[in-house]
Structure 1
């Protein structure tokens, strides 16, 4: 419970590398997320090459008509996809994203959900990436950026009035 309550999004990263062992634990947690009818049909595309991440960042920024870095310099980008014919694909992929971020925090790794994964792969360059990995029939739900966090996370305030009892 403490991990779930204290996890925060991270938007600033050091140059320290995330070990393969830790990354594998995070990815495993992601693919262990529950899914409707236990279909387990999401795909995770993991990017660690700086040049490719820059290309993806530019695609993501283009969706917003921005020239900034929506990935905040993160050294790892995990894009979560679902098949375009999956009725519960968004829900299933969202659970994967949650598991990725929670396990990242448990491993001491910073993470943040970056939107616009669907739109990134609607550009010609994005379609080429999907084709390269045989994911033409998949839709992006989110980009989970990962890396060694800088500083301490902000304190979180929780508004319990959001819970409504009948």
Structure 2
């Protein structure tokens, strides 16, 4: 596990090859098993493999940051992570799920990256319409997007860890 944690990096260039369904299921399962406040399990996952929908989400996300570039870096799969806002730990719950998913993707030999702006996308009119279309009518907030695919090139090296970040009280 520690090797996965030490070697996982955000990937920002992907091939067109679609990951296997079994691998995507394992990645989502890793998210499902992330800790949640008081075990409430208020996190939902929308796995987008459909290219038309993936491209639509890309345009919405790019629009939030005022860009016309693909913020999903060509990754063929986007997993939207949403958390139920009524739970006080909803942001942390969704964040832990994303962390688990990024690490599981790397362990399976896939590239991944956490892409922000899901909150803004799903607060907008089109985002709310999509949630309704997907059958999500409760009050959920977009926590992030996990892009998944095969890296096009080598992963970057880890930066050296900064000193003086651990304090031990005995």
Report TM bin, short chain. Answer: over 0.9
- After superposition, what is the alpha-carbon deviation per residue over 1:104-136, rounded to whole angstroms, capped at 9, x for unaligned? 000001000000101001221111101112323
Range with greater deviation from structure 2 (43-52 or 133-142) = 133-142
Distance in structure 1 (CA, Å) of the matches to 2:166 and 2:66:
36
Aligned pairs for 1:17-166 within 5 A: 17-136=18-137, 137-156=139-158, 157-166=160-169
TM-score calculated relative to the size of structure 2: 0.94
Superposed displacement of residue 95, structure 1: 0.4
SS at 1:142's partner residue? strand
TM-score calculated relative to the size of structure 1: 0.96
Superposed displacement of residue 161, structure 1: 2.5
Range with greater deviation from structure 2 (96-105 or 155-164) = 155-164
What number of residue pairs does the alignment pair up?
166
Distance in structure 1 (CA, Å) of the matches to 2:113 and 2:163:
23
Distance in structure 2 (CA, Å) of the matches to 1:63 and 1:17:
26
Distance in structure 2 (CA, Å) of the matches to 1:78 and 1:30:
10
Runs of 4+ in 1 over 6 A off after TM superposition: none
Distance in structure 2 (CA, Å) of the matches to 1:83 and 1:38:
13
Assess if the C-alpha contact under 8 Å between 2:123 and 2:141 holds in 1. no
Stretches of structure 2 lacking an aligned partner (at least 5 in a row): none
Superposed displacement of residue 164, structure 1: 3.5
Range with greater deviation from structure 2 (6-15 or 132-141) = 132-141
SS at 1:161's partner residue? coil
